Amino acid sequence: MIPFNKPAILGNEIDYISEALSLYKLSGDGGFTEKCHKLLENISDTKKVLLATSCTHALEMAAILCDIEPGDEVIMPSFTFVSTANAFVLRGAKIVFVDIRPDTMNIDEKLIEAAVTERTKAIVPVHYAGVSCEMDEIMDVAQRHGIKVVEDAAQGVGAYYNGKPLGSIGDFGTFSFHETKNITCGEGGALLVNNSDYIERAEIIREKGTNRSRFFRGEVDKYTWCDIGSSYLPSELNAAYLLAQLNNLELINRNRMDTWNHYHEAFIDLANNGLVKTATIPNNCLHNAHMYWLKLKNLDERTKFISYMRSNGIGAVFHYIPLHSSDAGLKHSTFHGEDVFTTNESERLVRLSLYYGMTKDEREKVVDATLKYF
């Protein structure tokens, strides 16, 4: 069986975990966490990076930093993971979904401003498959209306927009290090803070609402409860594993890109003959080969294709069911404008196997099976 995903394992993960165990320091914010922070700040060109237990928790921290209150509105695409919306719903926000672009599956930047009201507090662009949204236009809308921007760059570690790392453009950014991502520690994430004015509060929120970080830096003689917050720190074991991965970010992404490019070239004729649609990578975007997707004719054909691939020992999977059509979406959100592409395009999309260390034989098997299907 060729799985849809395998988490990358480079070799130093066990050594780093053993070192963490030998230091008898397993709770968060030890030496490995500090090294991850510094490395991620360099990778993302961000003022401050704080590891979290998940991208979900990083988004929750961002929602608190945006001062989201009951009745506020937050604009985002419906084609995203539930955490993107949940983080803001937990603060009492109403989610306002707008349609996506069919070429990138990202939020349509041209539809955002029409959805802005006096209650709009934030815009959350989701960089699908590590391909950037049109951030210049989104930032222009946000700045003219005094709205915060939180980049959901869960899939975007090591990807760029106009030469800027994803996650570094908005007020805040978030990364995921879930098992399915290019860089992983099983479960993990990070909050990127791009405005120095928010760094101290971000540390407090992350440390259960206390100024514990300042205490350990010797800036206060004791720490106390200062603000709302929660326990968002990952353990040193997670950080140790993550550091080994981050040290090999370029190697991992380059290896994945080899497979992505191989697929893209192999399916040119299918696309030219109108049998499938492939991803469009805008010229100002440098993606990280997080996933390779195809769009088939409709939901029925996608279902048949996935079944066919599985019968040939290949894991092919669909992706998000649009949030606005879910039970919770009907309760906590509204869709601004017309759903022209979100539902239709999501029902056609299928993701192919892509992971670090995929062999030539494995990717050829995926290509051959796909071509034979058509």
> Distance between terminal CA atoms of the chain?
21
pLDDT at 179: 96
- Which whole number is the average pLDDT over 91-95? 98
From the CB of residue 55, how many other CB atoms can be counted at a distance below 10 Å?
A: 27
pLDDT at 217: 86
- What is the percent of the chain with per-residue pLDDT over 90, rounded to a whole number? 95
Contact 116, 135 (CB under 8 A): no
122 residue type, one letter: A
Q: Where, residue-wise, is CATH 3.90.1150.10 in the chain?
A: 249-373
pLDDT at 215: 85
The model's confidence at residue 130, banded by pLDDT at 50, 70 and 90, is very high
pLDDT digits (tens, 9 = 90+) for 213-234: 988 888 988 899 999 999 999 9
- pLDDT over threshold 90, residue 23: no
- pLDDT over threshold 90, residue 296: yes
The highest-confidence range among 3-17, 118-132, 201-215, by mean pLDDT, is 118-132
Q: CA dist 356 to 102, 157, 160, 187, 254, Å?
A: 27, 15, 20, 18, 9
The model's confidence at residue 209, banded by pLDDT at 50, 70 and 90, is very high
pLDDT at 211: 92
CATH architecture of 249-373: Alpha-Beta Complex (3.90)
Name the one residue in this structure whose structure tokens are 């098992």: 179
- Which whole number is the average pLDDT over 175-191? 97
The model's confidence at residue 357, banded by pLDDT at 50, 70 and 90, is very high
The model's confidence at residue 11, banded by pLDDT at 50, 70 and 90, is confident
Q: What is the mean pLDDT of the chain?
A: 97
Q: Where, residue-wise, is CATH 3.40.640.10 in the chain?
A: 13-246
- Which whole number is the average pLDDT over 265-276? 97
Specify the CATH number of the domain 13-246.
Answer: 3.40.640.10
pLDDT at 306: 98
Q: Is 46 helix (H, G, I), strand (E, B) or coil?
A: coil
Specify the DSSP element, H or E, that contains 59: helix 55-65
